[in-house]
Amino acid sequence: MMTGETSNFDILIVGGGLVGCASAWHLARLGLKVLVAERGHLNSGASGQNAGSLHFQIERRFLEQGEKAAADGARIVTLNRLAIGEWRGIEHMLSRPLDVAMHGGLMVAETEEQMALLAFKVARENELGLSTQVLEGAQLRERAPYLSPHLAGAAWLADEGHANPRILVDAFAEGAGEQGARIRTGTALTGLSMARDGTYSAVLSGPDGEMRVNTPRVLLASGHWVPRLAGLLGLNVPLYAAPLMMSVTDRTEPVLPYLIQHVGARLSMKQTEDGNLLIGGGWPSRLARRADGTPDLDRPAAVEMKNLRSNLAVAARVMPGLAQRSLLRTWTGTTCISADQLPIVGEIPAAPGLFVAAGGSLFTLGPVLARLLARTIAESSPPEELSMFLPRRFAHLDAFAVLP
């Protein structure tokens, strides 16, 4: 990359995480000339910091916000069904092992009130074609005797599981490169403008200086940095940083073949191929702060000890044997959620040719969203499956944007 160099590409993808690299793979295979720019190293953001859960049941975060949020959350089930098929075939598609384990998932309940919520959730999922089922206490103990005997029951889905987030992005990136995509790491987007003909001029700053890119399309797939980058054009994307924590224990013999979630408390738990137990579930960490007190999204979030203790307490309550394990480490990662908690994926109406892809559940949904987004970009028409996630639902936020 040389100072002053100007290059033309069919699309510039900003962000070298799962959605960015998977989109590059699909678009390169469709014949587009693709450039991926990543400010750090590949998979350095939320894609590589999450715990790798493949959760296809309606998430607790929708259920705890009332009936409307639960109904909105249920709309994602259609996409979850597509994602199940995507994950089932991803190792064959990329021609390499990716530590994908889909042996099933349990969303547990501790009280009769929580069981009623599970029953409501399962009925809605079944209506939408997801084959979850309610297990009463005795059925749960028969399936998972290592869980607490005091659990009231669980919702079971045979398709849930986990994958290794540390190797998936590299697989997509290598495949994209083999198809002709160019990938630049250590390269930040520092300038973006729209020309009168509707094309974009981008300034990329890397270790060898600046590079200018002319392109008719830009995809912002950089997680919680998307609002800042869209702001270069005076646009608003309602995404908000969500700093989280994950923990890992020492290795033990295989005891947990399933993904474990909780309908009434924040919890995700699974066992890796190496025998470590991973614990998470959406407990907040603490954002770093600048000198003026505002959040500093360029620095890692800090572990919040009160929340860590609460997370581990829930995990040990659900799986008592966990108390005998040693905690190896806890780390943080910052993802983002949208104003309605659904991902924002597609073209921004106020800026034709500018696409975004960010929001919740983008490890679980990332591969299928990347495929659908690539179709949208290549065919200039979003498939029906993306309709509920399109940025147009927030178009009113850009009513005062001024572009050429």
DSSP 143-166: H-TTS-TT--EEEEETT-EE--HH
- Of the residues 291, 306, 335, which one is the last residue of a structural domain? 335
| 296, 329: one domain | yes
DSSP H/E element including 5? strand 5-8
Q: Name the burial class of residue 327, with classes exposed (0-12), middle (13-18) and buried (19+) by CB atoms within 10 angstroms of its CB.
A: middle
The tally of domains found in the chain comes to 2
Domain residues for the domain of 145 are: 101-158+240-335
Q: Are strands 182-185 and 53-54 parallel, antiparallel or unpaired?
A: unpaired
Contact 13, 24 (CB under 8 A): yes
pLDDT given for residue 1 in this prediction: 44
Using left for φ > 0, alpha for ψ between -120 and 50, and beta otherwise, residue 399 falls in alpha
Distance CA 298, CA 19 (A): 20
Residues whose CB is less than 8 angstroms from the CB of residue 313 and which lie 6 or more positions away in sequence, other chains included: none
| 11, 146: one domain | no
Domain annotation covers residue 208: yes
- Of the residues 313, 335, 357, which one is the last residue of a structural domain? 335
pTM confidence score: 0.94
Domain annotation covers residue 211: yes
Domain annotation covers residue 58: no
Distance CA 52, CA 30 (A): 28
Splitting the chain (404 residues) into consecutive groups of 10 residues, what average pLDDT does each group show? Answer: 75 97 98 97 90 91 68 80 96 94 97 94 91 97 97 98 94 97 97 96 94 97 97 97 96 96 96 95 96 94 98 98 96 94 95 96 95 94 92 95 91
For residue 231, the domain's CATH number is 3.50.50.60
Distance CA 14, CA 11 (A): 10
Distance CA 304, CA 142 (A): 36
For residue 320, the domain's CATH number is 3.30.9.10
pLDDT given for residue 2 in this prediction: 47
Q: E-strand spans in 200-324?
A: 200-206, 209-215, 218-220, 239-251, 259-262, 268-271, 276-280
pLDDT given for residue 242 in this prediction: 95
